[in-house]
Amino acid sequence: MFNFYLLAYTVVIFCLGCLLFLYSLRYNTLLSAVGKAVLITGCDSGFGHALAKHLHSQGFLVFAAVLDEDGNGAQELKSYSSGRLRVFQMDVTKREQVQDAQRNIECHLENNDFWAVVNNAGVIINVGEAELLSVDVYKQCMDVNFLGAVAVTKMFLPMLRRSKGRVVNVSSLLGAVPISRISAYASSKAALEMFSDILRQEMKPWGVKVSIIQPTAYKTGQICNFMYWEQQNQSAINTLPVEVLEDYGEAFIRENKNKFLQSVSTFCNDLSPVIKAITMALLSKYPKGRYSAGPWISCIKAVSYLLPSSVTDSIFSSVFLPHDQIPNALKNAIQKK
């Protein structure tokens, strides 16, 4: 009897191992980059900048869209002086510029297939409780992180349908896991995730693959610009209604910025996990619908999905950007008891 169960256990483990091996082969079979063109938005710095250089080295024809064509990031990419790395200015929130980019790219494909759009352009405007963030902060995040990606995707979908290509949308862990004091940015990324998941279903009959990239915390863009965060924090204080400012207090509001900047020191410098994930989404014969990139992301998502919200709320609020200060109104209420 013992030998029978041992044999059955061995067979099950062997079968599972074979399935995992076949699964790995399926998702790690890569296509050639030669003869394929890709558009990447937000190449001034961060993921987009690093990705443009990496995909160029892989053999792609890269169209690198930047917000500032005279900026250091754009100039560094231009220094490649390569016919396979073309840098141009495009603000994803400006429909005319997106239209111009589509026409220019279509005219300069030469013998390459237009294979993919990587919607990487993104902004995080300010941090703080939802009540402390202006509606303009939400609008700016939505305009770039969500509506900009939608506009670019829609403009290039006819070309992607012809090539049976790819759409790769760079989201964030924050688009899937609720972390307090980052609601404007997180909401825009959550909208991008839902758009991507629905688009993937709709594009399946056309042969177009849609993937989401979920990075954790990386040092990109304005993240390390301490002066920027000081200005944004002061702007929030200056524009708050008097009643709200009095209820929270300046000390509490400034702590949001200070806690965020402290957390930045723990962010990753090595962008390679994200670059690898995007490359897999572009070249895998059978790309996944969602790629996670960064430390602890699977653990954090598991906690968020499996535990009750009453538990996850307590965990996340105590681990991510925890407050030492108490809003003035709550402090006064405690003192009166």
pLDDT at position 24 is: 53
Domain that holds residue 286: 31-223+269-308
Mean pLDDT by 10 residues, the chain (337 residues): 59 66 64 98 97 98 97 96 95 98 96 97 96 97 98 98 98 94 97 98 98 95 90 95 96 93 92 97 97 88 90 86 86 79
**DSSP SS3 for 324:** coil
Could you say which of 27, 80, 185, 228 is catalytic? 185
Q: Per the domain annotation, does 237 fall within a domain?
A: no
Residue 278: inside a domain: yes
Asked if residues 137 and 183 have their Cβ atoms less than 8 Å apart, the reply is: no
Residue 291: active-site member? no
pLDDT at 296: 81
Query: What amino acid is encoded at 28 in this protein?
Result: N
Q: Residue 116: inside a domain, yes or no?
A: yes
pLDDT at 178: 92
The confidence score (pLDDT) of residue 325 equals 84
For residue 255, is it within any domain?
no
Assess if residue 164 is contained within a domain.
yes
For residues 30-40, b (16+ Cβ closer than 10 Å) or e, as one string? Answer: eeebeebbbbb
Number of domains, the chain? 1
Per-residue pLDDT at 1: 46
Burial group, residue 112, by CB count within 10 angstroms (0-12, 13-18, 19+)? middle
Does the pTM of the predicted model rise above 0.85?
Answer: yes
Name the residue among 325, 321, 319 with its Cα closest to residue 304: 319
Domain membership of residue 228 (yes or no) is no
d(CA 230, CA 78): 32
| Distance between CA atoms of residues 329 and 321, nearest Å | 20
Tokens standing for residue 223: 């993240």
Amino acid identity at 298: S
Q: Is residue 124 part of a domain?
A: yes
Give the CATH number, domain containing residue 276.
3.40.50.720
Question: What pLDDT is recorded for position 203?
Answer: 98
Per-residue confidence (pLDDT) for residue 17, from 0 to 100: 65
**337 is a domain residue:** no
